[in-house]
Amino acid sequence: MNDYIKTFANNLKTLMGKMTISEFAQKVDIPQPTISRYLLCQREISLENLIKIADYFNEDIDVLIGRKDY
């Protein structure tokens, strides 16, 4: 497994805070099972979904996947 998948999952958990997976999935228009797989490192994120999540949190994609620090 790529390190960026683990880093992304950890960063997403942090950014989501107390928001449920279901709430977040609705807000970013990504199916709930897909978000769950990202958080469990069971699925590699698509560029389209990475952009949706980065835009939602107003975060740099490189930060989300661990190529740059916060």
Domain range annotation of the chain:
3-64
Ordered alpha helix ranges (H), the chain: 3-16, 21-28, 32-39, 47-57, 61-64
Q: What is the pLDDT of residue 1?
A: 63
% of residues, the chain, pLDDT over 90: 90
Predicted structure pTM score: 0.92
Inform me whether the pLDDT recorded for 69 exceeds 90: no
Inform me whether the pLDDT recorded for 70 exceeds 80: no
Query: Among 69, 42, 39, 65, which Cα is nearest to 54's?
Result: 65
Burial label, 64 (beta-carbon count in 10 A; 0-12, 13-18, 19+) = buried
Residue range 11-39, pLDDT digits in tens: 999 999 999 999 999 999 999 999 999 99
Torsion sign, CA atoms 14, 20, 54, 46: positive
- What span, in angstroms and rounded, lies between the C-alpha atoms of 17 and 67? 22
Pick the CATH number of 3-64 from 1.10.10.10, 3.40.50.10190, 3.40.50.2000, 1.10.260.40: 1.10.260.40
Confidence of residue 2 (pLDDT cuts 50, 70, 90): confident
